[in-house]
Structure 1
Amino acid sequence: MKNCISSSLRTWENLRKQNLFKSVFLCFVTFGLLSCSGPKDLVDVPTTVPVESVPEVTKHRIFIATSRAKSDESGEFYSGERGRGLNFASVTVSIPPEHRKGKIERPGSLPADPEKHFVINDPKNFKNRSAFQTDLSAHLSTLKQDDRNLLVFIHGYNTNLTSAILQVSQFVEDSGYDGVPVLFSWASSGKTVKYVYDINSALVARDHLVSMFSTLQIPIIKGYDVVAHSMGTLLVMEASRQIAMTTGLNPTGKVRNVVLAAPDIDIDLFISQIRLLPAKGRNIIIMVSKDDAALKASRRIAGGVQRVGQTSATELSKLGVTAIDLSEVQDKSSFSHSKFKDSPAVVQLIGTALEEKSSFNQGPSLSLGQVISVGVDGAIKAIPGTGG
């Protein structure tokens, strides 16, 4: 016993001297490893009253393509395990009447109350790709021609399917996006301790994301906007690289914007990826923040290599992208890692940019190699970039 204690003390002292304990502890706190459990699975769970009895709710049909395995667990729908192929599904999400922008009102316990909480119901599995395309086309046909756009949303690390569905629903609601949301959900475990598993799951899903983009080549669609967050941006860049090397990037010109929010990508890897993407048709907007604590932790895990989401916006603009600096925007709820959706001002700015393609409200136009800074109150200013 004495020898065991002495050995433990020596190990502790070595960690202290190497400053590793501080780094590991910060990673644990930042990624939430000290929490007891993850968010509840909420797909088609019981509600206090039928959603239809609350006329003030707003609803969004979310189409889903996923590399996850199907699940029979209550509320889960699809699990954190990797599936054997690409599955297609849809759900309907109702937003409570008193919803606050930048928030997701989850129930603390079941049943969920449609008057107070987001509710996910009407889960539907499509038997094949063709059935998914047919239903999506039919849904798009009910919209005005100018609104027949798709918002393709790719979530980040430590995200189960319920959280991914709620994130895209909240983003669509708060941004005012008029098109149809399509969630690509890769097999994140939804567990903070499985960071490496999630990285590998994202890489495993590359071919599936490429396949989904092929599936979305439907004549009725007017345009596509892609929004990816955190580790999901790694998947988007890898898939874009693959597409560029095979069929060519954005040959139809329908991809309007690719928004990479808080990219959890090694900066050297990103440079190698973007060099293979032709400037014409790239349309990449990167959102960075110097105070992103989650990316600070990720950098420690990754051996100290800079993450794209913490790189200087001016430096990124040299790569021929539009860089938006959110460092002044406050967001304590997510360790400054989810400002793109948690900040009401930012999510509305993104929504305006996606809808109008060329402007943030009455602000500066977007162009390759540009730097935009967003202030505390959402005020924006353009800073000449050096890219292009």
Structure 2
Amino acid sequence: MRFPTVDLSQTSRRLLVAFSLVSAVGLTSCAGRPGPETLGTVALNDYQPSRVETLYSVTTRDRAEPGTNVFTTTRTREPNYASFDISIPPNHKPANIEWPKPGRKPDPKTDFAVVSQSVLDRAALLQAVRTQDKAPPVVFVHGYNYNFQESLFRLAQLKTDSNLDGTPVLFSWPSLAALPAYVADKESATYSRDALANLLSDMTRARNGQVDVFAHSMGGWLTMEALRQLRLEGKGDVLNRLRVIMAAPDIDEGVFTAQLDVIGRMRTPITVLVAPDDRALQVSSFLGAGNRVGALDARNPEVAEAAKRHGVAIIDISSLEPTDVTNHNRFFDVKQLATTLSKPAAAATIGDAGAFVLDAAAQTVSSPFSLAARVLRR
């Protein structure tokens, strides 16, 4: 049985309003969009930041110049590797990135700031993953309309707000970071699937253990394609060591079912965070002429049945406060999400599949669930 489709005959007015909202947010962010200058190393002098996050990056973006960590929108055949130490300002608010004011260098006292960085190669990255700590590393795969620095600093925000123990690794694909570039971004995400599959294979084997994957929006499409590739390559041992959680995945429902048919049931169910009121995915449905997985209705019995059949856990997180008018970025408030999902009423053994509804006010879920609490641990 397939995931049920929803009538696409939404009124033109509703689509126009949704598209206008998404466009407005995009145009507003573009006005002060952070450029590569935010990746410059800032001297701390006598200031000692209270929190510094060490992040690693793997990207299919080309370097602007050899030996630098400024990355372009050009695709590269061989991934590039880097590490960054990012200081978190004392005025940081959960779910927020404190960017420097336009035209000014980052100030570690008030802004997220790169205080150290290195150019790495594949061997150095894997050595870091192998020796950093005992907790599983976490790979973050960003979505559509992101530039490199936005994805890097978003991972720093997620890391600091959730107190993740595992080594954070950004997988950045060459999004054009432009609102009209949806189709081009989809092609660049698809282009990067082999690189992501290889990274996940390398990391599970370097660790000889578990790796967590957290993907957002179009990054969910890329992640599913990488998992499919691993299955086709006969790397079931790699799939068995992955825990995958996707927030608002921008994937056509029929395509998602076809991907699951190839991937099969994973040892740990793929977890999907959904919100039927996601306006960005409404626009994506219109552009792609198909309903998106990230907007599934977890209350629909057919959705629950299909989720159990395919070994997938679907959680409706629409009760969480949105971070913008698109309702597409609720996962930014990872602290609220982790707090809710770590409550005793939400805890159970890993292995649950089906559809669940998160009640943020009561801080419970309507059926036991624990995977996200472990991936997004406080």
Among 224, 231, 241, the alignment partner of 2:218 is: 231
8 Å Cα contact 1:270/1:308 also seen in 2: yes
* Structure 1 residues 49-88: aligned runs within 5 Å: 50-51=43-44, 53-72=46-65, 77-88=70-81
Query: How far off its partner does 1:175 sit?
Result: 1.2
8 Å Cα contact 1:101/1:344 also seen in 2: yes
8 Å Cα contact 2:231/2:239 also seen in 1: no
Among 332, 335, 340, the alignment partner of 1:344 is: 335
Identity %: 27
Deviation sequence 1:274-295 (CA, Å, 0-9, x none) = 1122324242110000111111
What residue is the counterpart of 1:279 in the other structure? 265
What's the TM-score, normalizing by structure 1?
A: 0.81
Q: Distance in 2 between matches of 1:218 and 1:243?
A: 13
8 Å Cα contact 1:76/1:161 also seen in 2: no
8 Å Cα contact 1:331/1:343 also seen in 2: no
* Structure 1 residues 157-196: aligned runs within 5 Å: 157-196=144-183
Larger of the two Rg values belongs to structure = 1
3-state DSSP of counterpart to 1:217: helix
Query: How far off its partner does 1:223 sit?
Result: 2.1
Deviation sequence 1:184-236 (CA, Å, 0-9, x none) = 00111111121111000000001111121222134445421110000000000
* Structure 1 residues 89-168: aligned runs within 5 Å: 89-109=82-102, 110-126=104-120, 128-138=121-131, 140=132, 143=133, 145=134, 147=135, 149-168=136-155
- Tell me the amino acid that sits aligned with residue 117 of structure 1: D
How many residues end up aligned between the 2 structures?
348
Deviation sequence 1:300-319 (CA, Å, 0-9, x none) = 1112x110000122505343
What residue is the counterpart of 2:363 in the other structure? 379
3-state DSSP of counterpart to 1:340: helix
Structure 2 unaligned runs (5+)? 1-9, 370-378
3-state DSSP of counterpart to 1:383: coil
Deviation sequence 1:245-279 (CA, Å, 0-9, x none) = 21233447432x20010010000000100112232
What residue is the counterpart of 2:22 in the other structure? 30
8 Å Cα contact 1:370/1:384 also seen in 2: no
**Higher relative CO (CA 8 A, sep ≥ 6), structure 1 or 2?**
2
3-state DSSP of counterpart to 2:213: strand
Q: Distance in 1 between matches of 2:320 and 2:339?
A: 13
Structure 1 residues 251 and 221, CA gap change in structure 2 (3 angstroms): closer
Among 286, 289, 294, the alignment partner of 1:309 is: 294
8 Å Cα contact 1:88/1:125 also seen in 2: yes
Q: Distance in 2 between matches of 1:34 and 1:21?
A: 21
Structure 1 unaligned runs (5+)? 1-17, 353-359
1:329 aligns with 2:320: yes
Q: Distance in 2 between matches of 1:332 and 1:44?
A: 25
8 Å Cα contact 1:68/1:186 also seen in 2: yes
Q: Distance in 2 between matches of 1:117 and 1:311?
A: 37
What residue is the counterpart of 2:203 in the other structure? 216
Structure 1 residues 203 and 174, CA gap change in structure 2 (3 angstroms): same
Q: Distance in 2 between matches of 1:252 and 1:235?
A: 15
